[in-house]
Chains A and B, each alone.
Chain A
């Protein structure tokens, strides 16, 4: 635990400075000092900038917060011609819309090339973050306040503690109150009152944060002269017990996290396998171009984002049906032109679709070059859901798990409740009989392949959020999708679901011990052995006609 680091200095300065809220239209002396200090940021080196920011705070100007926020978000510029400093409303637009740092009012706009940005580096941003946390403590957003309290707890001193103490009685949100309580307890550990320390340990026992655990563990350390840093026996015992409790909880939560990792990996596997299970099950077609159909879906996402750059948030939702259409249509075309002629010869379709996959890859490479394409994650999918200090679930993976379940349900719905689904099931169970019953099997085949390919495209949308979008995207996932389908049983969606999920979970459980490669090898070997026991997968297709495949 550092005492009074640079951020602390800054906080000290900000706290002690008088905060004048009277708006000044005419330039007061305070304004002048503010502007001149601000101006020094233009030419200073990074370490000097930290000092300048300190002095900026000392001016006590009401615009300090806006300026510091702009600086940390890389929105502070100076005009090349007259060196005047401006805040840009957003860093992305060109020309930039500016506001005056003094009054925070609109100051027109200017092309980006006429302005130079005032840069920051990691150390500077660290200092700025800690400074801004002080402001965030009174933010209307509870999440922001909670974050601010956590930030402050990393560098506690008398002034920050006083700040927190002042905040506690007016804080309404229980989560934030807990954070503040933890921070205050951490501070109390450095105090001289034994009873207070004991009470602090009791409070901290409830936490599952790594920082708290480290701090408590420090109490049990021996100092160089042989004695304990924590002099009181009872406090030490309480600390030891608290550390053990925290460790137990953390292990428990990390187990849940591993489980989640497994589920999310499994959901990706399921998503890439569903389409294949359908085409494989119904038509006996081994589609080696399945990976490329996923790649098409990922590139569709990229194109949608290029087409609507201002609306990244809904771009994913638009991309899903778009990718379905693109890949689905490609699949239908493939089926009508090539696969149609290869029925009853699954091994030939494997070879032909392999040729198709080469062509599709090279097409994308020619159009989009071999370079990866940047697909932006929308804000609502970024970051993580913080359940507690020990368990954070990343949003993108969470949404993908949910998305997989939705897709699965949708496909089941199509198969079980629609006419098309009925036809598909009939054809897959007994083609000749279905034909005899009047079902147009060629049309059903085309639709089935289109459906399977469309789902591959949708899987590609999900993959674009997880990994890089390049012509080789399909190649990385094709082997896995085959494994899941074979494991789960051809043509059986539940098999794919259970198979994919279990493969993902097993892989993730093994990884911490065996390493990524050995875990993967183990899963593959287990699959090979499993197939010996159940040659047709988990849920084999029933019926005599199935044997002919």
Chain B
């Protein structure tokens, strides 16, 4: 073992993981990628090609819904990455999601330009209303898409880095870590609710017009956004897969299962945790950034602790430690929520609550565990 803690060939794919079929991806992963490919092809067809009067036509509402589910899937995957594979239960991942969303939201707000209510070409409406004379420093440059895109990754990464560095260095683990991630997202929620912060306060950002010159309300843009989301989800999955199957991934698993032992073996446990946490934060931020243009609003209640807990529930329902399980769980729970709030508005909370209880009690490995999709190793 090297003294500096660097393990040679860390990122090389290990041979110790059961990879299932000849393509090197296990069944669940293949299933996921197939589904995503189908969605990416079917949605444009069903919306643009199939006429609006047909029963098979996919309405914009449907497009938005599917896109939203995929963004949530990405968030769930980010949570699963650190929870399922490293044992870090973050109850505040919604913070990274929301930060990425706000970064994208800031870009979209700048794109409104003079078409806002007060007609100011530079200042968004809420700033005019609060008597701002000029754009605050942290808004500068957000009318450039590349910068906004960079911020989508950088801001959550920075927060994850700082928070993680402090937390992991002090060996805060388990329940304590979870609770202080709650404190983090709660503090951010309170901060962003303040109208004085320069982020739109309680109303957040809304009333977006266009992204990169394309009208956000047109069906075509929505379809394209959805396809991009599907692609991002697939790419994110591939990246996460690569990480967990590499030698670094094995170390991370070891940290999850026996942290002290791993540390005594000489691995820099804190560094591994930190980097995984940062990557997970970036993933969540990207998910948030894709979410906002599709949903059309970003608001401080995205920081609410309950949203982060819901993300964890998705992973638990889907099956943690599988990545594709997390995505499946996110889609399933949110679909149920959509259906139940429409069909049984009076009692959907019962159903959801019961689902959580039953899954935790009887399906500790989630739905995917039930369907025996996981490989035997992990």
- Which A residues contact B (CB, under 8 angstroms)? 280, 284, 286, 288, 338, 341-342, 345-352, 354-359, 361-363, 365-366, 475, 479, 482-483, 485-486, 490, 517-518, 520-521, 524-525, 527-529, 531-533, 535-537, 549
Contacts and interface: CB of A to CB of B under 8 A. Distances in A.
B316 A483 contact: no
Q: Which of A286, A486, A533 has the most CB of B within 10 A?
A: A486
Contacts of B89: 347, 350
A351 B172 contact: no
Contacts, number: 129
A330 B309 CA distance: 23
Contacts of B359: 351
Contacts of B175: 280, 284, 286, 346-347, 486, 490, 549
Interface string B156-199: 00000001001101111111101110111011001101100000
Contacts of B176: 486, 490, 531, 535-537
B343 interface: no
B171 A359 contact: no
Contact of B350 (A284, A359, A517, A527): A359
B309 A362 contact: no
B330 interface: no
Contact of B166 (A346, A357, A529, A549): A529
12 contacts: A280-B175, A351-B360, A355-B353, A365-B349, A482-B179, A524-B190, A528-B163, A528-B184, A531-B180, A532-B167, A532-B172, A535-B176
Interface in B324-378: 346-347, 349-350, 352-357, 359-361, 364
B167 A347 contact: no
Contacts of A537: 176
B357 to A, nearest CB: 4
A346 B91 CA distance: 13
A479 B174 contact: no
Contacts of A363: 350
B186 A532 contact: no
Given A284-B175, A359-B350, A528-B166, 4 more contacts: A288-B309, A520-B187, A524-B187, A549-B175
B356 A355 contact: yes
Nearest to B167: A532
Contacts of A366: 346-347
Q: Which of A346, A352, A361 has the most CB of B within 10 A?
A: A352
A351 B356 contact: yes
A358 B356 contact: yes
A310 to B, nearest CB: 36
Contacts of A524: 183-184, 186-187, 190
Contacts of B104: none
Contacts of A288: 309
Contacts of B167: 531-532
A318 to B, nearest CB: 31
Given A517-B190, A521-B191, A532 B170 contact: yes
Contacts of B101: none
Contacts of B180: 486, 527-528, 531
Contact of A354 (B173, B190, B356): B356
Interface residues of B, number: 45
B286 interface: no
B170 A531 contact: yes
B117 to A, nearest CB: 26
A533 B179 CA distance: 15
B94 interface: no
Given A346-B175, A351-B356, A359 B349 contact: yes
Nearest to A355: B356
Q: Which of B183, B194, B359 has the most CB of A within 10 A?
A: B183
Given A346-B175, A479-B305, A362 B360 contact: no
B313 interface: yes
Contacts of A528: 163, 166, 180, 183-184, 187
A457 B43 CA distance: 51
Given A338-B357, A359-B357, A354 B364 contact: no
B312 interface: yes
A359 B179 contact: no
Contacts of A365: 349
A486 B190 contact: no
Contacts of A533: 170
A73 to B, nearest CB: 41
B172 A531 contact: yes
A483 B174 contact: no
Contacts of A351: 309, 312-313, 316, 356, 359-360
Given A351-B313, A352-B361, A479-B186, A517 B178 contact: no
A35 to B, nearest CB: 58
Given A482-B182, A527-B180, A535-B172, A521 B349 contact: no
A359 B305 CA distance: 18
Contacts of B187: 520-521, 524-525, 528
B178 A350 contact: yes
Contacts of A357: 353
Contacts of B179: 482-483, 485-486
Nearest to A490: B175
Contact of A341 (B170, B186, B306, B361): B361
B18 to A, nearest CB: 26
Contacts of A348: 316, 360, 364
